[in-house]
Structure formats: C-alpha cells, structure tokens
C-alpha cells in the first residue's frame, strides 16, 4: 500500500477529462478525414481503391468525409471559443500563446545540442515545440475548413466570388492536407511515441497524468509554480535525479 501511495504521489494531474475527450475526438475525426480525403485525391492507387470499395463506393466516401468534416469544424470552433472564453472571462493563463521566450528557448536548445549550453531550456506548461506544432495544426485546420466548405458548396460560392476560387480551393485543400499529415506523422508522432523521453508512448493525454520526473525535465517552471517553490529548487532536484541515474548506470 505504501508503494502504491508513493507511486500516486509521483504522478501529477496534467489534463482534465474534457481535454482527454477532445483529444480522442480529434484523433478519430482526423484519421477519418485523412483516410477518406487522400483516397479521393489519390484514387489511382491500389490502397485508395481498396478503401473506397471497403467503405461502399465513392458516394459513401464523400458523404463520410463531409459529415466528419462538419464534426471537425464544430469541434475546432468549440475549442477556440472555450479557450477564448476561459482566457477572457475566467482568467485562464494563455499558456499556448507564442511569446519571445519561446524563440529564446529554441535558440537555447540549439546551443545546448551544440554543447554550447550546460542544460536544455526551462519551459513552462507547454514547450516551444508543442506551441509551434499546435499553431501549425490549428491554422492549417482553419484553411482546410474554409477550402473544404468552398468545395462542398461550389455553386453557392461562385455566386458571390470569382469562379477561379474553386480550383484554387481544391489545390490548397489537397496540399494543406499533405502538410498537416506530414506534420502529424513526422513531428507529433515522434514526440509522443518515438522520442527517447516518452518511448514507447506518452500516455499523459490518455490518462491525464504525467510523472513528476518528466515535469522536472520538461516543465520545471510549471512545477515550481504548482508547488510554490523557486525554479532553482526544481532544477537542483533534476540535477540530483540525473546524478543518481548516472550512478545506478555504473557497473
């Protein structure tokens, strides 16, 4: 029992249940949109034809893609509205806003990787990597939503805007889809699965909890604020953990 209590004490609540549910919804809608969208864009490939046949034909693919897109639009807009309302009315910390310190942290880490700094950058609730990834996906999602609506209602759009907007929207929609897929596949999946810090999987977004050891390494400023101590104290704890780990690794 004592060991179980100690284990629980070393875990810190990082994400609430609504954020976990939101992530699951994003995963499901994103996966469905990728599968049904790329199957239409690259219909000549064998895997695309297989997906189209398994889902009942091109008409079913288009219906599934558009209905999932509508869910994605609602989920994204609600995410933005809830975040904006929380910051303005409930005085939430705008922890995802990119500021000057994020660029300084990026430069600091580059210097660290080149052995010009003794330690990596100290980050708050979200690192500069997480912020850059978040805004890249969010802005790309808005572009996908706008161009998707143009392609969904081309006749209505052509009544108010030049017809050339339709093929432009098609090109932007397809190309931006590939950019987001690559961003998720190369950056997000690496950081949440294959990175040595979290391998074989970062489970924090699924369980809502993160280990205190990871908080010390990745989010020392937030941990110091949570525990009401100076950041330097958290850094010292991290150094002690690193030294202890080095001693245990010795034969």
Kindly give, in sequence order, each residue whose CB lies less than 8 Å from that of residue 48, ignoring residues fewer than 6 positions away: 38, 39, 40, 42
Q: Which residue has the tokens 């850059």?
A: 132
What's the pLDDT tens digit per position in 42-60? Answer: 889 999 999 999 999 999 9
Q: What is the arithmetic mean of pLDDT over 188-209?
A: 88
Q: What's the start-to-end Cα distance of the chain, in Å? A: 32
* Level-2 CATH architecture, domain 9-249: Up-down Bundle (1.20)
Percent of the chain with pLDDT over 90: 63
Task: Name the pLDDT band for 4 (thresholds 50, 70, 90).
Answer: very low
| CA dist., res. 233 & res. 143, Å (int) | 44
| CA dist., res. 119 & res. 46, Å (int) | 49
What's the pLDDT tens digit per position in 76-110? Answer: 999 999 999 999 988 888 999 999 999 999 999 99
Instruction: Give the H or E element holding residue 173.
Output: helix 165-182
Q: What does DSSP assign to residue 206?
A: H
Q: What is the Cβ-side half-sphere exposure of residue 200, based on CA atoms within 13 angstroms?
A: 0
Of the given ranges (16-20, 53-57, 114-118, 181-185), which has the lowest mean pLDDT? 181-185
Residue 8 has pLDDT above 80, yes or no: no
Cβ atoms 38, 177 nearer than 8 A: yes
Kindly give, in sequence order, each residue whose CB lies less than 8 Å from that of residue 238, ignoring residues fewer than 6 positions away: 216, 217, 220
Q: What is the arithmetic mean of pLDDT over 207-226?
A: 92
Tokens of 175: 């190309």
Secondary structure (3-state) at 97: coil
């Amino acid at each position: 029992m004592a060991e179980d209590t100690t284990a629980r004490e070393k875990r810190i609540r990082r994400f609430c249940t609504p954020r976990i549910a939101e992530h699951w919804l994003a995963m499901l809608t994103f996966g469905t949109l990728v599968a049904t969208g790329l199957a239409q864009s690259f219909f000549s490939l064998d895997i695309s034809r297989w997906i189209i046949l398994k889902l009942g034909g091109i008409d079913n693919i288009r219906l599934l893609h558009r209905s999932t897109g509508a869910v994605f639009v609602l989920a994204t807009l609600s995410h933005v509205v809830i975040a904006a309302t929380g910051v303005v009315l409930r005085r939430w910390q705008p922890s995802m806003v990119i500021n000057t310190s994020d660029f300084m942290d990026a430069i600091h880490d580059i210097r660290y990787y080149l052995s010009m700094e003794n330690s990596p950058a100290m980050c708050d609730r979200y690192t500069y990597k997480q912020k850059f990834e978040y805004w890249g996906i969010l802005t790309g999602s808005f572009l996908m939503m706008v161009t998707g609506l143009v392609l969904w209602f081309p006749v209505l759009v052509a009544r108010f805007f030049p017809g050339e907007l339709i093929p432009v929207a098609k090109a932007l929609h397809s190309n931006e889809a590939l950019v987001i897929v690559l961003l998720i596949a190369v950056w997000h999946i690496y950081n949440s699965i294959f990175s040595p810090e979290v391998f074989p999987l970062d489970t924090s977004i699924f369980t809502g909890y993160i280990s205190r050891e990871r908080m010390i390494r990745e989010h020392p400023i937030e941990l110091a604020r949570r525990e009401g101590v100076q950041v330097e104290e958290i850094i010292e704890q991290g150094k002690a953990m690193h030294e202890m780990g080095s001693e245990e690794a010795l034969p």
